[in-house]
Amino acid sequence: MNGEGDRKEATSNGGEQDWHAVCFSDDVIERLNDLLRVELAAVAGYQRALRTLKERAVADSDHILHLASDHQRTVAALQGSVHARGGAPVVAADPWGGSGSAALTADGASVMLESRQFVGALLEVERRGLAEYEASLTSLDEDARELVELELIPRQRRHVAGLSAMLVNLAA
């Protein structure tokens, strides 16, 4: 501690670093890893769906492939953000939960893009992801907030809009 009561930590180059900045950075890394777990689960869920859709000729499967690749890009962006702060990105996903998640984790032929339950479950997961991103904004540093606000939230909103449109088309 210095004379003013501020706590300092030694850095690897022999200098000092503000303890509050270290703690805030750790909190940001933790929050980014929380978001990364959600995205890893989304990638796994979409990959399961795509394996099932591959066996069938489904009109909207290209849209699902696009959503899956968007989530893979998001994983890469979050991993990079964690690395940039000196953290280690998580590798384990949080399980997809919720009322419709059984439609996303079901085996084989029970996962169908034509199913309103399946598309509704995807939509529910995307909406939860959007809420996670919006809730995280206050706990992120400026750079991470910019990534989430300018790239990830708009991408997630496009997912919600696209799946909402698919659900409307299925109802017609």
Q: For the chain, list residues with pLDDT below 50.
A: 1-23, 98-101, 108-111
Tokens matching residue 79: 């991993």
What pLDDT, on a 0 to 100 scale, did the predictor assign at position 57?
Answer: 54
Distance CA 119, CA 126 (A): 10
Distance separating the N- and C-terminal Cα atoms of the chain? 67
What pLDDT, on a 0 to 100 scale, did the predictor assign at position 3?
Answer: 41
**SS3 state of residue 53:** helix
What pLDDT, on a 0 to 100 scale, did the predictor assign at position 104?
Answer: 54
Kindly report the pTM of this predicted structure.
0.77
What pLDDT, on a 0 to 100 scale, did the predictor assign at position 61?
Answer: 76
pLDDT digits (tens, 9 = 90+) for 32-69: 999 999 999 888 888 877 777 665 556 667 888 899 99
Kindly state the greatest CA–CA separation across the chain.
71
What pLDDT, on a 0 to 100 scale, did the predictor assign at position 12?
Answer: 43
Q: What domains can you pick out in the chain, each with its CATH number?
A: 26-171 (1.20.1260.10)
